[in-house]
Amino acid sequence: MRGLLCLLMSFPLLASAADLTIAAASNYRLLLDDVVLRFEQAEQVDVDVIYGSSGKLATQIQHGAPYDLYFSANSAYMARLEQAGELAGAVMTDGYGQLVLLASANSQAPFVRSLETLMKGKVVAIAQPKHAPFGKAAVSYLKSEVLYEQVSPSLVYAENVAQVMHMVRSGAADYGFVALSLIEQGTDAAQRMKILPLKDKHLLKQQHAVIAGAKNTQLATRFSQFMQQPEITQLKRRYGIEPVNKLTTDKEPMHGRG
C-alpha cells in the first residue's frame, strides 16, 4: 500500500520534461515564480515548481520523488532530510518567513478590537500544523498570547498556507493565518493584514538545498547559487522573507510593507 501511495504522489513529476523540478513550501510561490522566470531566461532551461506543505514534500523526497531542489519553511524538515542523507551539499538559509493574520474583504475595521474578541464566533483558517510550518507558527503564536483555548473552536484546517489564502479570498473564512510572502504589495489584501510577532526565533526559517540524486546536480547547484545573488536577496525582502526573524513589538492595528 505504501509503495502504491508513493507512486500516486510522484506520478505527475515522472511526466515532467523540465530540466529542473523544485519542491517548495507554498509560501515561496511569489518569490520563486519571479526567480524561476529570471533563471530560465539566463540559463535557457525549463524549471517546474511543485508547491505544497514543507512536511509532505519532505516525506515525498524520502519516498523517492524525483525532485532536484527542496525549499522548506521549517528547518526541522530540512534537518530530517540531511540526517537521512537525502541532501547534496550545504543547506542554504534564505531568511525567515513572517506570520500574518489576514482578514477577508467582508471584514469591517478588522484589527481595531483585540484578537480574542475579533475572532470570536468567526471562521478562522489555519494550515494543518502537523505538516505545515505556518500552521505550527500560528498555534505557537496563539498559545504565547494565551488565546489558543478561546480561538481553537473557530479554527478550520487547510492543507497548506496557500489554501488558507484561498479560503480568506473566497470568503470561506473570515480570517486566516498566512505568510506575508503570499500577499502582493499594493493590493487590497495588504490593507487587511496584521503582522504577528513570534517569540520562537527558530520558527519559519526558510531554507533550500539540492537533493541527492538530482538529475542535474550542476544545474541545481547553479540555481542555488542564483538564489544567493544580491538582486535576489532584495527580492526575498520584497516578497516578505526577512534576513532575520524579527521579534515584532509594534502595536499599531494595521501593518503594511514599503
For residues 214-232, give the mean pLDDT.
95
Q: Residue 15's pLDDT is what?
A: 47
For residues 58-79, give the mean pLDDT.
96
Burial of 231 (0-12, 13-18, 19+ CB in 10 A): exposed
CA 3 vs CA 10, 50, 53, 79, 81: distances in Å: 11, 21, 21, 24, 19
pTM (2 d.p.):
0.85
Residue 235 has pLDDT above 50, yes or no: yes
Q: Give the pLDDT band of residue 252 (cuts 50, 70, 90).
A: very low
- Rounded to 5, what percent of the chain is helix, strand, coil? 40, 20, 35
Q: What stretch of H or E contains 47?
A: strand 47-52
Residue 4 has pLDDT above 50, yes or no: no
CA dihedral 55, 248, 157, 209 (to 10 degrees): -20
Q: Give the pLDDT band of residue 202 (cuts 50, 70, 90).
A: confident
pLDDT tens digits, one per residue of 11-59: 444 446 789 999 999 999 999 999 999 999 999 999 999 999 999 999 9
Q: Residue 246's pLDDT is what?
A: 57
Residue 65 has pLDDT above 60, yes or no: yes
Residue 2 has pLDDT above 70, yes or no: no
Residue 244 has pLDDT above 80, yes or no: no
Residue 171 has pLDDT above 50, yes or no: yes
d(CA 50, CA 63): 16
